[in-house]
Structure 1
Amino acid sequence: MSKPTLHSPAPDFTAPVIGGSYKAGDSVTLSELRGKNVVLYFYPKDDTPGCTKQACGLRDGWKEISKKALVLGVSIDPVKKHAKFIQKYELPFPLIADEDQKIVNAYGVWVEKSLYGRKYMGTERSTFVIGKDGKISAILEKVKSDEHLEAVLALL
């Protein structure tokens, strides 16, 4: 699927979530967050070097970013793996489990990737900033893990 464009309505979803104010068994619906800025960031996999660096960057800048927006991380990992990742790195924000890949497909970030010449499908590291009106106000594609926090703060 293609990516949503700037100023278009953010594709809605309801999905399992854990962390932040959410506990095991909870779900989150994007449209219920209207009235708040939302940083929806997609990452390939819990507890890998780049994804850990990205998540810890957001954690370290939490005091500043949490004043401006809600942060939701999305990967295709299950809730149990997210819970371990959150606990291990003391992440203050929730992570969404997109095991059925509906959200990554709706946002066009489930893409063909290549590693050492081997092609496979995976999540492209991308971030969508969704305004209070539910429309996409910014898109960061192919984000570098160590530059993510600064890039997001510059957009809020």
Structure 2
Amino acid sequence: MLQTGQLAPAFTLPDADMEMFAFDSLRGRQHAVLFFYPKDGTPYCTLEATEFSDHEEEFNRLNCVICGVSRDDCLRHADFRDKNGLSIRLLSDEDGEVCKKYGVAQMKEKDGHRKLCVVRSTFIIDKSGIIRHAFYDVNPKGHAAEIYRLVKELNGKEKVAC
């Protein structure tokens, strides 16, 4: 598991439009909220993605980008986005390598088979690429509002430091 104060692992993943997104491209320019979720289309994942999407403009005003990551493929992400009117970027980590880097992948056994599962988790990462908040096993209801408050605090501290 990653901790506050650590450098966020760099990665490049395709989004729902199959365009490659390099997370390091944000460094020095924007804060980021990176949320990991188990599966497109499930009730809690839909709730979480919808809440973040509904508040995306507010995050943008704080110079913060929101990205959702799951192991679903790009086509499934596109269907999920279009069906639910999502505007946030959804990234596909089919092989689970980024999930492993962020400590959100867990092996679970079901019906005698071991499967890599994603623990719902959120990271607030500042412009320098430092993890300022790490949340594992997140309850999605109202989560976007709490994350927004923390990003707003982060922006306030940044202005004071200047």
TM range (shorter): 0.7 to 0.9
* TM-score relative to the length of structure 1: 0.88
TM score, norm. by length of structure 2: 0.84
Q: Where in structure 2 are there 5+ consecutive unaligned residues? A: 152-162
- Structure 1 outlier segments of 4+, above 3 Å: 112-115, 118-121
Q: CA RMSD in A?
A: 1.9
Q: Per-residue deviation at 1:63? A: 2.7
1:29 equivalent in alignment to 2:1: no
Partners of 1:7 and 1:87 in 2: how far apart? Answer: 36
Question: How many angstroms does 1:111 deviate by?
Answer: 1.3
Following superposition of structure 1 onto structure 2, how do residues 49-68 of structure 1 map, counting pairs within 5 Å? 49-68=43-62
Question: Is 2:134 the partner of 1:139?
Answer: yes
Match of 1:47 among 41, 48, 67: 41
SS of 2:137's equivalent? coil
* Structure of higher CA gyration radius: 2
Does the CA-based 8 Å contact 2:104-2:136 persist in structure 1?
A: no
Identify which of 114, 123, 128 aligns with 2:118.
Answer: 123
5+ residue gaps, structure 1 = 19-23
Paired with 2:116 and 2:95, the residues of 1 have a C-alpha distance of: 14
User: How many equivalent residue pairs?
Assistant: 148
Query: Deviation at 1:82?
Result: 0.2
